[in-house]
Amino acid sequence: MTNKPLRRSAQAIAVLCAAALSLTACGSSDDSGSGAKAADAGSVEAALKKGGTVTVWAWEPTLKQVVTDFQAKYPKVKVKLVNAGTGNDQYTALQNAVQAGSGAPDVAQIEYYALSQFALGKSVTDLSAYGAKDLSKAYSPGPWNSVAVNGGVYALPMDSGPMAMFFNKKVLDKYKIAVPTTWDEYLTAARALHKADPKAYITNDTGDAGFVTSLIWQAGGHPYTVDGTKVNVDFGDAGTKKFTEVWQKLISEKLLAPITSWSDQWYKGLADGTIATLSTGAWMPANFVSGVPSASGDWRAAPLPQWQAGQTASAENGGSSLAVMEAAKDKPLAYAFVKYANKDAGVQARIKGGAFPATTADLNSQAFLDTEFPYFGGQKANEIFAKSAGNVAKGWSYLPYQVYANSVFNDTVGKAYVSSTPLSDALGTWQEASVKYGKDQGFSVGG
């Protein structure tokens, strides 16, 4: 708490060096020698027999159990699990290590939105050589499309975040507000709730890049189109307009709680009913259980509200993959661990630990769908999540430098949340910043 300002400036510097470093990383993407040697699934088996050490950088808490199980099954393999920071902190460290040529891990956890940046910079290995392409049907489409980029497979999906709306049933019932099924109803509910209790808000939002892009995704927008190094950024399409119309009203009428997600205030708001709904990825239940224990029984899950009544469109929010680094010492062995954790026995261990899988076999298994969540009053919430996973809108892609774009989100779009700047104008400013950065990096950018 005490070192917050320091932390912020340190982060700013870290982002700067990440930006500077990715420049060179992207610059080397023209190299034709990708370094992928001829390998096959057999080499993976051989590597497991031979043994060795795999260093894994990840912050996902359920991996601890997976590592224990894996080492028990393959005693010759030693897995060193290191929490090198969460999200951006880790990407910066990863870029630094890649750039410096030493200190990088063999396997790294990378969120879907950030993966194409590492794939294009050739910091992570194309796993096609080890048979990863055959797994395309094993994962739900949203996560798979995020790892299968540029004609290769650059990671295996670890978890996924098909979106749902979590709502505080106690609060909505108290004010006799129906659970909204469309975003228009959501707006009406927001007005009714805040009028009934000026301290209560339909949700919290101070501007979050992941959330905004996910809702535009659900609305069928395609602000980013990517073809190799040809990129187009356009926040003027129909999907984006649907989003800004509703959200602008929520902002202008001050119907959103000015609380940043993941802060202590946020956990407090989720617990005491001042934040009434939360639209986010299906990985959220584990966080409810550990972070908001006092509100157990108050909350329920529902499908994400729709942009048009009667539809079932959804989007992904968050979620991450495990990638094998190009600098890995023993790639077949590293891949063996990734496959164990994200496709084979590791998945079950992680579901038990509260993770939400990306594997279709688990998403469709009866046991998974029938799981009752005591936290949600015994609701079989996985039915909603699994349906959402199947309904993720097709054709979405992130920028190959989304990590940077998200880092300037608050400087641009963030203004719309705290001033009279219209949301659509603010998105335009974000677009300009993204286009300019892309051009500076040597991409051919339109928009």
Judged by the rule CB under 8 A, the positions of this chain that interact with other proteins are: 1-3, 6-7, 9-10, 13-14, 17, 57, 59-62, 82-86, 89, 93, 96-97, 99-103, 159, 161, 261-262, 264, 267-268, 271-272, 281, 283-284, 286-287, 290-291, 293-294, 318-319, 353-355
Sorted by sequence, the CB contacts under 8 Å of residue 397 that are 6+ apart come out as 116, 145, 149, 222, 224, 225, 226
Sorted by sequence, the CB contacts under 8 Å of residue 290 that are 6+ apart come out as none
DSSP β-bridge partners for residue 323 = 108
3-state secondary structure of 397: coil
Picking from 179, 118, 177, the residue whose alpha carbon sits closest to that of residue 149 is: 118
**Other Cβ atoms closer than 10 A to 144:** 20
Scanning the structure block, which residue is given the tokens 């688990």?
362
Q: Closer CB to other proteins, residue 234 or residue 272?
A: 272
3-state secondary structure of 258: coil
Cα 299–Cα 313–Cα 174 angle in degrees, nearest 5: 25
- Residues 278 and 184: their CA atoms lie apart, in Å, by 16
The answer to whether 256 and 205 are in contact (CB under 8 A) is yes
- Residues 126 and 128: their CA atoms lie apart, in Å, by 6
Sorted by sequence, the CB contacts under 8 Å of residue 18 that are 6+ apart come out as 88, 91, 92, 95, 96, 403, 404
- Residues 226 and 146: their CA atoms lie apart, in Å, by 12
- Residues 447 and 424: their CA atoms lie apart, in Å, by 15
DSSP β-bridge partners for residue 145 = none
Sorted by sequence, the CB contacts under 8 Å of residue 146 that are 6+ apart come out as 112, 113, 115, 116, 157, 316, 319, 321, 398
DSSP β-bridge partners for residue 321 = 110, 157
DSSP 106-127: SEEEEEHHHHHHHHHTT-B--G
Picking from 100, 89, 155, 145, the residue whose alpha carbon sits closest to that of residue 124 is: 155
- Residues 111 and 141: their CA atoms lie apart, in Å, by 16
